[in-house]
């Protein structure tokens, strides 16, 4: 299996599966080492204070079982740093290693998966995994295709957050739509003021209760629902990204579209640009009197020009599909007998992925931005450009 690393200078590599360790419980080792998830972060500068509790704060945002909207799976998602730091929790410049053990890998749940392991679960990756890995495909909890895989991403993103915080760069994600119920337009300041003030993390405190009530009704009917996550990155300097294949816009899209439940993406005004005139969609430049720098009167482009950051807020909207695991019988095919069968209802699930996916989106954008910053700083260190261009 390839493609488990993201980034070039700031590189995050992950491994681990949904139920890794479930078949290793008879080994004479501590239970924390049965199995879980690992994150290795290359490119962490030396001298950065990184504590397990800082990483834990991010992991706790996506941890299951915190509200009726979540899966009842009771993973502790406890992070342990096992390499890359020494005295006073300061990084040494070596790769940073983080382990998050699986603890809710009970035999009863594994046997539930075994009962329907030959059935293609609608919306899941069984069919494509069987086509790619055949009889060796991981059938327990979807393996690397499980949402549990994203724990490792959040750990890597937590490291990026610590570094970006020192640069004054803030990345914040929140929910703007659930099952067709929409919040009012959300500003950065509104998102900050109302961050995580409800179980859904919707900054519109009037609409959030309606969304939550609807999700609980959907759950009671055995169904699930999707929605929209929006992410703002504020304080990102202009000039990040490359003009062609490695546009920062494209890199962020790659990062976010690699999250399993994300099925759509738009920057700034996104698809609304298709309905505008050029004079409406262009973002006029002006000279900011306070800073003396170029700014833009609008931000339809979402923080980019030519795919390169322009110094305005990076704004991304993401369509999140409903949780594919539902408590409703569905048509399927048995890949062993090659006969059509009905897949019985499954109960252990998230009613919506929204409350737990926005931290993953935050993490992936942070990783992409920090990687772009390191590349830009390296490029700027060796190219002889007049300093006046740094001040426009």
Measured CA to CA, the distance from residue 247 to residue 60 in angstroms comes to 32
Question: How many CA atoms lie less than 13 Å away from 152 in the CB half-sphere?
Answer: 29
**pLDDT over 70 for what percent of the chain?**
99
For the segment 300-329, what is each residue's pLDDT rounded down to a tens digit?
999 999 999 999 999 999 999 999 999 999
Helices (H) and strands (E) in the chain, counts: 9, 16
Distance (Å, whole) CA 14 – CA 367: 13
Query: What is the token pair recorded at 76?
Result: 């502790």
66 has pLDDT over 80: no
Rounded to whole angstroms, how far apart are CA atoms 155 and 99?
Answer: 9
State which of 64-68, 112-116, 162-166 shows the largest mean pLDDT: 162-166
Rounded to an integer, what distance in angstroms lies between the CA atom of residue 76 and that of residue 116? Answer: 27
Q: What pLDDT does 347 receive?
A: 64
Q: Are 23 and 49 within 8 A, CB to CB?
A: no
What is the DSSP secondary structure assignment for residue 119, as one 8-state letter? B
74 pLDDT higher than 90? no
Q: Is the pTM for the entire model greater than 0.85?
A: yes
**Cβ count within 10 A of residue 338:** 8
Q: Dump pLDDT digits (tens) for 122-132.
A: 999 989 999 99
Kindly tell me if the per-residue pLDDT of 62 is higher than 80.
Answer: yes
3-state helix, strand, coil in the chain (%, to 5): 35, 20, 45
CA-closest candidate to residue 146, choices 198, 105, 178, 196: 105
- Average of per-residue pLDDT across 167-175: 98
Q: Is the pLDDT of residue 262 over 70?
A: yes
List, in sequence order, every beta strand (DSSP E) within the chain.
5-6, 11-16, 36-42, 80-83, 96-101, 170-178, 181-182, 227-234, 262-267, 285-287, 294-296, 304-305, 308-309, 314-320, 330-334, 339-343
Distance between CA atoms of 231 and 359, rounded to whole angstroms? 10
Q: Is the pLDDT at 4 greater than 70, yes or no? A: yes
**Residue 373, pLDDT score:** 98
Please state, in angstroms and as integers, the Cα–Cα distance from residue 241 to each residue in 121, 160, 304, following that order.
Answer: 39, 17, 10
**Confidence class for position 1, pLDDT limits 50, 70, 90:** confident
Mean pLDDT of 7-35: 90
Q: Alpha-carbon distance 96 to 159, whole Å?
A: 9
Angle formed by the axes of helices 52-62 and 354-382, nearest 10°: 130
Per the model's pLDDT, the better-predicted residue between 182 and 73 turns out to be 182
Integer Cα distance of 14 and 154 in angstroms: 10
Cα separation of 23 and 140, whole Å? 10
The model's confidence at residue 70, banded by pLDDT at 50, 70 and 90, is confident
Query: In the structure, what pLDDT confidence band is assigned to residue 25 with cuts at 50, 70 and 90?
Result: confident
Confidence check: pLDDT of 184 > 90: yes
How high is the pLDDT of residue 275?
Answer: 97
At 76-95, the pLDDT tens digits run: 899 999 999 999 999 999 99
Residue 73 pLDDT > 80, yes or no? no
For residue 346, is pLDDT > 80?
Answer: no
| Superfamily (CATH) of domain 5-268+303-391 | Chorismate synthase AroC (3.60.150.10)
Please, what's the b/e burial string for 162-172 (b: 16 or more CB within 10 A of its CB; e: otherwise)? bbbeeeebbbb
Helix, strand or coil for residue 337? coil
* 284-300 pLDDT, tens digit each: 999 999 989 999 999 99
pLDDT of residue 30: 85
């Amino acid at each position: 299996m390839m493609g488990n690393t993201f980034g070039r200078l700031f590189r995050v590599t992950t491994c681990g599966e949904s139920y890794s360790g479930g078949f290793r419980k008879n080994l004479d080792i501590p239970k924390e080492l049965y199995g879980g998830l690992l994150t290795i972060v290359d490119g962490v500068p030396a001298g950065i204070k990184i504590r397990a509790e800082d990483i834990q704060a991010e992991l706790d945002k996506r941890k299951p079982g915190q509200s009726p909207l979540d899966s009842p799976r009771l993973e502790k998602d406890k992070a342990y740093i096992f390499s890359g730091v020494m005295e006073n929790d300061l990084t040494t410049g070596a790769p940073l290693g983080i382990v998050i053990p699986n603890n809710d890998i009970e035999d009863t749940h594994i046997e539930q998966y075994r009962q329907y392991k030959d059935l293609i679960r609608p919306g899941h990756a069984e069919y494509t995994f069987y086509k790619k890995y055949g009889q060796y495909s991981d059938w327990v909890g979807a393996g690397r295709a499980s949402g549990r895989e994203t724990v490792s991403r959040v750990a890597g993103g937590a490291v990026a957050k610590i570094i970006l915080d020192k640069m004054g760069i803030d990345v914040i994600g929140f929910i703007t739509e659930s099952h067709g119920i929409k919040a009012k337009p959300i500003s950065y300041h509104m998102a900050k003021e109302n961050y995580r003030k409800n179980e859904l993390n919707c900054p519109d405190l009037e609409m959030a209760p309606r969304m939550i009530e609807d999700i609980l009704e959907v759950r009671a009917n055995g169904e699930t629902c999707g929605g929209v996550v929006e992410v703002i990155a504020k304080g990102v300097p202009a000039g990040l990204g490359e003009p062609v294949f490695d546009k920062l816009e494209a890199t962020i899209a790659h990062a976010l579209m690699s999250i399993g439940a994300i099925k759509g993406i738009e920057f700034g005004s996104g698809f609304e640009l298709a309905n505008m005139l050029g004079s409406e969609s262009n973002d006029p430049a002006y000279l900011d009197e306070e800073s003396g720098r170029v700014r833009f009167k609008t931000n339809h482009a979402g923080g980019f020009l030519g795919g390169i950051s322009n110094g305005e807020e990076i704004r991304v909207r993401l369509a999140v599909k409903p949780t594919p695991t539902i408590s409703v019988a569905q048509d399927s095919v048995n890949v062993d007998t090659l006969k059509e069968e009905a897949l019985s209802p499954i109960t252990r699930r998230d009613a919506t992925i929204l409350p737990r996916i926005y931290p993953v989106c935050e993490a992936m954008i942070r990783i992409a931005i920090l990687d772009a910053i390191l590349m830009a700083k390296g490029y700027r260190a060796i190219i002889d450009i007049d300093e006046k261009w740094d001040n426009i």
